[in-house]
Amino acid sequence: MKEQLQLLSKDSIELIYPLLLLAPRSSSRPLDMSRLRIPCSCTRATRRQFSTSHSRRDVVDLAFHRHNPPDKTSKGPPIILMHGLFGSQRNNRTMSKALAKDLSRPVYNLDLRNHGDSPHSPVHDYISMAIDVEHFISSHSIPRPTLIGHSMGAKVAMTLALRRPSNYSALIPVDNAPVDAALKSDFHTYVQAMHEIEEHRPPFTKQSEADKILAKYESNVAIRQFLLTNLVKKPAGGVDHQERHRGEHRHPQKTELRFRIPLHTLAKSLPAMADFPFKDPDEARYEGPTLMVRGTQSHYVADDALPLIGRFFPKFELLDCDCGHWVMSENFEEFRAGVVEWITRAVDER
C-alpha cells in the first residue's frame, strides 16, 4: 500500500465531505490501527410515481456520469458511486476514473436527489433515495452492480442492499454505520450560514463575497470551499425577471450566485438523515460481500457498532484507513488500493 497522502490537493477539496455527522461517537477505538479485517454521459430527471407496499413516492431520474475503463472492456460488475450530503458527482470524479481504470469496469457516478444536477423533491429520506437509485439501475439495465457510498451515500447503499439483497454483487459503505444517531451541532450551523448567504440583499455575485459570510461560521478554508461549490450563477432577479426584460438589454444579462441545492428541503430533512430505515437485522440482511471502510481518526463507525453491522452484513470485512471522515480525499491512495484489492479478491475471484 502506498504511503498515505498527507495534504489535500486542489482536486481533493471537491471530494471533502465534512457535513454529514450521523454516526455515534465513541472513544473506545484506538486511533493507531492501520488496517483491520474482520470476517463475519449525464441526464436530468422528471418525476414519476413509484408504487410501494406502504405509499406512492415520487421518483426522479438521477443525473450521472459514466466513467468507462480506457480499454473499453468490462471485467466485472459495474460500480455505482454515491456522494454525501451537500456533495455531488463532482466530489467522486477522480476516484471514479481511478476505479474504472484499475478494475476495468464502468463506474456510474450519481447525483442523488436534491443534489448536483438531479431534480429537487420535497421528500428527502433514505427510502426515497434508494428507490431513485433502483429506478436508475433498472432504466439503464445495469446488472448486479457493486454499491459504494460515502456518509449519506453509505446509508443509501446499505438501504439498497437490505431492500433487494440479490440485486447487488457487493457493498462498500464508507464511514457511516446502519444506526440511528444524533446530528452534530456544526451541521445545523452550516445550514444557517448558507441560508444567510442565500438571503443576503443585494445577492452576491462573487464567491469571495459569500466566503466572508461563511467565514463567520467556519474557520476551515477547505470546508468553506466545499460548501461554496454548491453556489452557481443564475439570472439576476430570477428567470421571470429576465424574460420580462429580455428585449430591453443590449448587454449580457447580469447574474447572481444562488445555491443549486434546496436548502429548505434539506434543513427539514436533518432528522431523517440522522436515522436508518432498518432497525431489526433479523428482518433484513445482506449476505453478499461487504467492505466497511472507516477512518481511524473519525468516530462515525464506532467499535460498539460492529456487532450490529455484523448482524446486518454477516460477511463484512473492515478496512481502516489512517485518516478522518473524508476518507477518499484525506487518504485517496489507501482507499483506492484497498477497494481495488478487495473487489478483485472478494468479488471477481469468488
Residues marked active site are found at 151, 325
Neighbours of 337 (CB within 10 A): 16
> Cell 504511503 sits at which residue?
3
Q: Which residues of 231-264 are buried (b: 16+ CB within 10 A; e: fewer)?
A: beebeeeeeeebeeeeeeeeeeeeebbbbbbbbe
Question: Checking DSSP bridges between strand 316-321 and strand 47-51, what pairing results, if any?
Answer: unpaired
Q: Taking the mean position of all CA atoms in its chain, how far away is CA 1?
A: 25
DSSP structure string for 132-182:
HHHHHHHHTT--SPEEEEETHHHHHHHHHHHHSGGG-SEEEEES--SS--P
- In contact, 266 and 214? CB cutoff 8 Å: no
Phi-psi region of 96 (alpha: psi -120 to 50; beta: other; left: phi over 0): alpha
The three grid cell numbers given for residue 181, joined into one nine-digit string: 444517531
Specify the residue for cell string 450521523. 22
Reported in sequence order, the residue ranges of the chain that DSSP labels E, i.e. its strands, are 47-51, 56-60, 64-67, 79-82, 107-110, 146-150, 170-174, 231-235, 255-259, 290-295, 316-321
Q: Determine the residue type at 10.
A: K
Q: Are 24 and 302 in contact, with CB atoms under 8 Å apart?
A: yes
